[in-house]
Amino acid sequence: MRSMQSASAGSGVRHDNESIETSGRRASDSAASRARVGGKVQCRLCGQWLSEVGSRHVKRAHGITLAEYYRAVDEKRAADADGVLEDGTPFFGRLGEMVYDEDEDKIQCHLCGDWFKWVGGLHLKYRHPGWTIDEYRRAFKLNHSQVTMAAASRQILRAIAVDRLTAGQIGSPLGDRRGLQHVPWRSLVERRPDLAAELHPTRNSKLEPERLGVWSSERVWWRCARCGREWQMTVMGRSA
């Protein structure tokens, strides 16, 4: 069953109601097709069903690199897009919404139309180079409360974070000071200094930013650097 996380959609884009409804059915349709072939994925160029469409297959079967494969796929998909941004970028789904497939626990990427546990991070870096998660949010009208990760996956990560906090492996910025440690590769200050700069300076009285993990499930106060808006949200919710 498909569900959506909604926000108001912006203007200045082309929408076709019939294509939007077709896009809405892709969650169940894609799930059914994956089940029929045992979870394999289909190469968009030759139609073969494989355990993975990677660099080895596209090089041997098509004589191209993985980046060239993605560009070819994007060109073929442009005609099936559900809308076009003002700059001419085709997109799938609807602005202001994350389309979620509950059966597969995956969400749809607006840029390529594929389904993932998490749209962000490595997917944007390697599949859509040049796009950051902040640019993605702005382009597709996603507000701060909309997380670009599938619901069940978020719950699993949250449970792992709680277990580690309880075991003292990651220090809680708002809890007991015993066992707190500064882990550079996980620190929000070092991994996402842009987000750390928006931590509210006065409303997080017990906060030690250098001990705050980038995947922390703690709800903290934020203040937008551009408009000054203040709100509460988990660190993981913003960094995802």
pLDDT digits 0-9 by tens, 25-39: 344 344 333 333 456
Instruction: Quick: pLDDT tens for 4-21.
Output: 444 333 434 433 433 333
Q: Residue 13 in 3-state DSSP?
A: coil
Give the span between the Cα atoms of 171 and 233, in whole angstroms.
18
Structure confidence at residue 29 (pLDDT): 40
Give the span between the Cα atoms of 148 and 5, in whole angstroms.
10
DSSP letter at 148 equals: S
Give the span between the Cα atoms of 141 and 148, in whole angstroms.
12
89 pLDDT above the threshold of 60: yes
177 pLDDT above the threshold of 50: no
Give the span between the Cα atoms of 76 and 98, in whole angstroms.
23
Q: Global pTM?
A: 0.49
- Contact in structure between 56 and 65 (CB atoms under 8 Å): no
- Contacts of residue 159, defined as CB under 8 A and 6 or more positions apart, other chains included, come to none
Structure confidence at residue 169 (pLDDT): 52
Give the span between the Cα atoms of 157 and 46, in whole angstroms.
36
Tell me which of 100-109, 130-139, 148-157, 224-233 is least confident. Answer: 148-157
Instruction: Quick: pLDDT tens for 69-81.
Output: 888 887 777 778 8
- Contact in structure between 223 and 201 (CB atoms under 8 Å): yes
